[in-house]
């Protein structure tokens, strides 16, 4: 299990902010739940609005890329840039702050580590047959 901390979160936000600081996005959208934490931090850091839905010309973020099911929903939006904190696959059309081994379960700072095992089981059950 890979337990991330708030310092690593700040480093990720600073990294994405640096890469996006000169881009004219209409706002930032984060997929609920984990992407929302990142989007709020980037909204403050880049001084751009927090969006309630992904739109053209926006920064789109999520906490993790695992199967691609979530990010695939926005792949065809125009003039967007997509970033994830953690990717379990080598980035192709999205950007990743960090890439890790696919079989490693990640616990983010806003998650309760005591529930990690149950969350992992629920996650894989919800993805059966989707990939």
Per residue in 33-76, pLDDT tens?
899 999 999 999 999 999 999 999 999 999 999 989 899 999 99
Distance CA 43, CA 60 (A): 11
Task: Report d(CA 44, CA 86) in Å as an integer.
Answer: 21
Q: Which domains does the chain have, with CATH numbers?
A: 2-127 (3.40.50.2020)
79 within 8 A of 56, measured Cβ to Cβ: yes
Contact between 37 and 4 (Cβ < 8 Å):
no
Q: For residue 102, what pLDDT band results from cuts at 50, 70 and 90?
A: confident
pLDDT higher than 90, residue 131: no
- What is the distance between the alpha carbons of residues 45 and 19, in angstroms, rounded to a whole number? 12
For residues 128 and 9, the model is more confident at: 9
- Beta strands (DSSP E) in 10-130 are 28-30, 59-65, 81-87, 95-99, 106-107
74: three-class secondary structure by DSSP: helix
């Amino acid at each position: 299990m890979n337990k991330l901390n708030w310092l690593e979160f700040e480093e990720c936000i600073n990294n994405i902010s640096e890469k996006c600081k000169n881009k004219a996005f209409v706002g930032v959208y984060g997929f609920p739940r984990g992407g929302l934490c990142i989007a709020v931090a980037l909204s403050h850091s880049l001084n751009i609005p927090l969006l309630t839905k992904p739109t053209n010309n926006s920064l789109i973020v999520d906490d993790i890329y695992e199967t691609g099911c979530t990010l695939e929903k926005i792949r065809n939006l125009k003039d967007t840039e997509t970033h994830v904190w953690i990717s379990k696959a080598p980035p192709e059309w999205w950007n990743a702050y960090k890439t890790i081994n696919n079989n490693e379960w990640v616990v983010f700072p806003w998650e309760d580590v005591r529930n990690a095992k149950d969350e992992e089981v629920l996650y894989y059950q919800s993805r059966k047959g989707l990939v």
